[in-house]
C-alpha cells in the first residue's frame, strides 16, 4: 500500500512540474513565436502536445484517486511516464528552435535558461516516476515470493500433518487378523 500511496504523491508532484512547463511554453510561444513561420508552427505544435500531455497527467491522477485497483494505478503511472516524455521532448525542441538563426537574438537568455531548467525538472520528475514504478514492481515481486514461500510452507505442514494422522491411525487401529 505504501508504494502505491507514494506513487500517487509522485504523480501529484509530476503534474505540478508538467503544469509549470506548460505555462512557460505558453508564455514563450505567445511572446516570441506568433508568426506563422516554420519555427512558430513547430513551437505551437509542441505547445499543443504539452497541453495535451499535461491534461492527460491530470486525468490519470483523477482516475487513480477514485480507484483501489492496483492494476489501474500501474497503468496510470505508465501513461504518465509517456506524457512526461512528450513534455521533456517538447521543451528540448522549443529550446533548439530558440537557437535558430531567426530567433537566437530575439529570445532573452533568461527564457532560454528557464526552458533548460524546466526540461531538467521534467527529467528529474521522470526519473522519480520511474523509480516509483520500479518500487511498485519490486514490492510485487517480493510479495509474490513471500506468498509462494508461505504456500510452500503450508503445503509442507499439511503433508506433515497428513503423515502424523496416518501414523496415529496405524497406532490406534485394532490389530488385523493376519497380524495375530
Model confidence over 40-60: pLDDT tens digits? 999 999 999 999 999 999 999
Q: What is residue 82's predicted lDDT score, i.e. its pLDDT?
A: 96
Q: What is the mean pLDDT of the chain?
A: 91
Give the start-to-end residue ranges of the domains of the chain.
2-138
Residue 163 has pLDDT above 80, yes or no: yes
Model confidence over 94-113: pLDDT tens digits? 999 999 999 999 999 999 99
Tell me the average pLDDT across 80-102: 96
pTM: 0.79
Q: What is residue 65's predicted lDDT score, i.e. its pLDDT?
A: 80
Q: What is the CATH number of domain 2-138?
A: 1.20.140.40
Q: What is the 3-state secondary structure (H, E, C) of the chain?
A: CHHHHHHHHHHHHHHHHHHHHHHHHHHHHHHHCCCCCHHHHHHHHHHHHHHHHHHHHHHHHHHHHCCCCHHHHHHHHHHHHHHHHHHHHHHHHHHHHHCCCCCCCCCCHHHHHHHHHHHHHHHHHHHHHHHHHHHHHHHHHHHHHHHHHHHHHHHHHHHHHHHHHHHHHHHHCCCCHHHC
Amino acid at each position: 500500500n505504501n508504494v502505491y500511496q507514494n506513487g500517487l504523491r509522485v504523480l501529484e508532484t509530476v503534474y505540478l512540474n508538467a503544469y509549470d512547463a506548460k505555462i512557460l511554453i505558453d508564455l514563450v510561444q505567445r511572446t516570441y513565436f506568433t508568426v506563422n513561420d516554420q519555427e512558430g508552427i513547430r513551437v505551437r505544435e509542441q505547445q499543443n502536445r504539452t497541453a495535451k500531455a499535461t491534461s492527460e497527467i491530470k486525468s490519470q491522477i483523477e482516475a487513480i484517486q477514485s480507484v483501489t485497483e492496483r492494476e489501474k494505478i500501474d497503468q496510470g503511472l505508465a501513461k504518465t511516464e509517456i506524457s512526461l516524455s512528450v513534455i521533456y521532448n517538447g521543451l528540448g525542441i522549443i529550446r533548439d528552435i530558440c537557437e535558430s538563426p531567426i530567433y537566437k537574438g530575439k529570445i532573452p537568455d533568461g527564457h532560454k535558461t528557464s526552458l533548460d531548467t524546466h526540461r531538467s525538472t521534467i527529467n528529474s520528475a521522470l526519473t522519480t516516476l520511474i523509480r516509483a514504478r520500479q518500487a511498485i514492481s519490486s514490492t510485487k515481486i517480493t510479495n509474490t515470493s513471500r506468498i509462494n514461500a508461505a504456500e510452500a510452507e503450508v503445503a509442507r505442514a499439511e503433508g506433515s500433518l497428513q503423515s502424523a494422522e496416518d501414523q496415529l491411525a496405524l497406532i490406534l487401529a485394532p490389530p488385523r487378523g493376519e497380524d495375530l
